[in-house]
Amino acid sequence: MPDQMHRMVQVSENPQRIISLVPSQTELLYDLGLGNRVVGITKFCVHPEEWFRTKPRVGGTKKVDIEKVRALKPDLIIGNKEENTRADIAALEQEFPVWVSDMEDLVGALEMVHLVGKLTGTPARAAEIAAGIQAAFDALTPLSPPRTAAYFIWKEPLMLAGHGTFIADMLKRCGLNLPTELGDRYPEIGTPELHALAPDVALLSSEPYPFSEKHMQEFADILPGVPVHLVDGEMFSWYGSRLLQAPAYFSRLLERLA
C-alpha cells in the first residue's frame, strides 16, 4: 500500500513483527492494541512506559542500529520523513518493508492514523481514534483575536518552529500565529531578529530541548515585556493518538494566556 511519501510499500497482511522508529507513532500502535506485534522501538519512544521498559530498542530516531533491526526480523518498519534520516530509511528499505509518514497538519495526521490502521489490520480502532481527535479539535475555542507566538525548540543556537511545520498548525488552531516574517521549518534566530519579530508571547517547549523553569527569566530578559510560558512539546508535536489529549491541554494553556 502507498505511504505518505507516495511510495508503494509491499507489506504482508496483518504484519506480526513491527518496529516503530517514531515516538508518537509508537504510542499510536499501542493504542491500536498491537501489543506483542510490536517487537522494537527507539530509545525516545517513552510512551507507553510499559513498552519503554520492556521492548527492545533499535537506537535513536536519527541513528538506527541496523544490526539490532536485523536481529528482530521485522515484517514492517514504520518511520517518518522528518524524524528519521534519509540514509537510515534508504538502508532499511533494502531489506525490509518501510512505511514512511509525512504530514504538516492535523489533516495529514488523521490520514496517517487511518493508514496505519489499514496497514496493521486495525481500521475500526483507527477510525475510532481519528474520530475522537477530530471531535476534540472541533470543540477547541481559539484565542480571539489571534496573537503571534515565538515557539522555541532549541537554545544554543536559538531555534524556533517555523511555517510549514506540524507545530505551526497546532498553534494556529489555538489562535496563535507565527510571525509572517519567520522562515519555514526550524530557523535559527539571533536576538536582534527575534526583537524584530515582536511576538505577543514566547513559548518554551519541553522538547526537543528540555526547557524548564530555570530558563524563563533568561527569556524574559531577552524579550522584555513579552509573557514567557513553558509548554508540553508532546502536545504540540506528537501526531499520533496523543492528539486525543492535546485540545484539552491547549484549552488550559489558552486560559493562562487570556
Domain edge (last residue) among 137, 155, 170: 137
Which residues form the domain of 239?
A: 147-257
Which pTM value belongs to this model? Answer: 0.94
CATH number at residue 129: 3.40.50.1980
Residue 4 domain flag: no
The whole-number average pLDDT for the span 149-175 is 97
Q: For residue 8, what is its C-alpha cell?
A: 508503494
Residue 62 phi, psi (nearest 5):
-100, -10
Are residues 42 and 132 part of one domain?
yes
Flag whether pLDDT at 141 surpasses 90: yes
What is the reported pLDDT for 91?
97
Are residues 37 and 128 part of one domain?
yes
First CA to last CA across the chain, in angstroms? 45
Q: HEC states along 196-230?
A: HHCCCEEEEECCCCCCCHHHHHHHHHHCCCCCEEE
pLDDT band at 16, cuts 50/70/90? very high
What is the reported pLDDT for 75?
96
pLDDT tens-place string over residues 49-103: 999 999 999 999 999 999 999 999 999 999 999 999 999 999 999 999 999 999 9
Residue 6 domain flag: no
> CB of 151 within 8 A of CB of 167?
yes
Flag whether pLDDT at 258 surpasses 90: no
Number of domains in the chain: 2
Residue 251 domain flag: yes
Average pLDDT, the chain: 96
Are residues 47 and 123 part of one domain?
yes
Residue 5 domain flag: no
What is the reported pLDDT for 146?
96
- CA–CA separation, 22 vs 40, rounded Å? 11
- R_g of the chain computed on alpha carbons: 19
pLDDT tens-place string over residues 108-138: 999 999 999 999 999 999 999 999 999 999 9
Are residues 197 and 90 part of one domain?
no
